[in-house]
Amino acid sequence: MFFTAIHTKKSRDLSGDVVSGQTLWSAFKEGDEEAYARIYEDHFDALYDYCEKITRKSDLIEDCIHDLFTSLWKNKENLVVPQSIRAYLLSAIRRIIFRKIKKERKYTHLTNFCFFEEALFESSREDKIINKQIKAYNHQSLIKALKQLTNRQKEAIHLRFYHNLDYADVASVMNITLEAVYNHISKGIGKLKETLKHLAIP
């Protein structure tokens, strides 16, 4: 399978030099399969991680990523050159996976789907999303604190600090206003700090 092959191949620059994301994307738009493979290789893990915060179904996640890149190749000539490839792909995969989940709910009568379930944050790497003061607390306290956040707050914080997107890109991925992003992150971080004050272990 092509996607499996390009994900396992060793990534390399097109000309032996550092290639910018926009240069890579432009080459892909012109039909360069190596550029296409490089984009897949560079962003697969981030896309998988983001989808895993929405569902634990690995087959569904892989199908969504496959559909995304199949669509990209099919429509490559009509695509714009994004300011941020990562933000563009996350925004696209978000639409795809929600569409599939909505369809699944229709046919399986799922009633408890909740974006960014608290349990999905039980991973030590999530410590990266917050500052040094919060990192000092133990992991269990962090999990309890995260449960106090809304799904939107968790998603915004995850995109901003784990995926290193700027605020404008977070707004684009979540399809909300820039002001709303600032609000979600500010309130989320504030709530984390306040909650952790009460959860700190002597």
Residues 100 and 151 in one domain: no
Residues 125 and 102 in one domain: no
Q: Which of 108, 139, 173 is where one domain is finished?
A: 108
Residues 132 and 182 in one domain: yes
Residues 7 and 102 in one domain: yes
pLDDT digits (tens, 9 = 90+) for 85-116: 999 999 999 999 989 888 876 655 443 344 44
Residues 91 and 31 in one domain: yes
Model pLDDT, residue 109: 45
Range of the domain at 74: 2-108
Count of structural domains, the chain: 2
Residue 2 has pLDDT above 90, yes or no: no
CATH number at residue 78: 1.10.1740.10
Question: Which one is predicted more confidently, 192 or 62?
Answer: 62
Domain assignment present for residue 142? The answer is yes
- Both tokens assigned to 44: 């697969």
What's the whole-number mean pLDDT along residues 177-192?
93
Q: Which of 67, 89, 108 is where one domain is finished?
A: 108
- Going by the DSSP 8-state scheme, the letter that residue 10 receives in this structure is P
Of 92-101, 107-116, 128-137, 149-158, which range is least confident? 107-116
- Residue carrying the six token digits 């895993």: 52
Distances (CA, A) of 102 to 107, 111, 144, 154: 9, 11, 29, 21
Question: Which one is predicted more confidently, 20 or 111?
Answer: 20
First and final C-alpha spacing in the chain: 54
- 3-class SS of residue 16: coil
d(CA 142, CA 136) in angstroms, rounded, equals 10
Domain assignment present for residue 163? The answer is yes
Q: For 36, how many CA atoms within 13 A lie in the half-sphere containing its CB?
A: 20
Domain assignment present for residue 113? The answer is no
Residues 93 and 123 in one domain: no
Domain assignment present for residue 129? The answer is yes
Residue 68 has pLDDT above 80, yes or no: yes
Rounded to the nearest integer, the mean pLDDT of the chain is 78
Q: Which of 90, 108, 126 is where one domain is finished?
A: 108
- pLDDT band at 10; cut points 50, 70, 90: very low
The answer to whether the beta carbons of residues 113 and 101 sit under 8 Å apart is yes
Model pLDDT, residue 136: 52
Q: What's the one-letter identity of residue 201?
A: I
- 3-class SS of residue 57: coil
Domain assignment present for residue 132? The answer is yes
Residues 91 and 185 in one domain: no
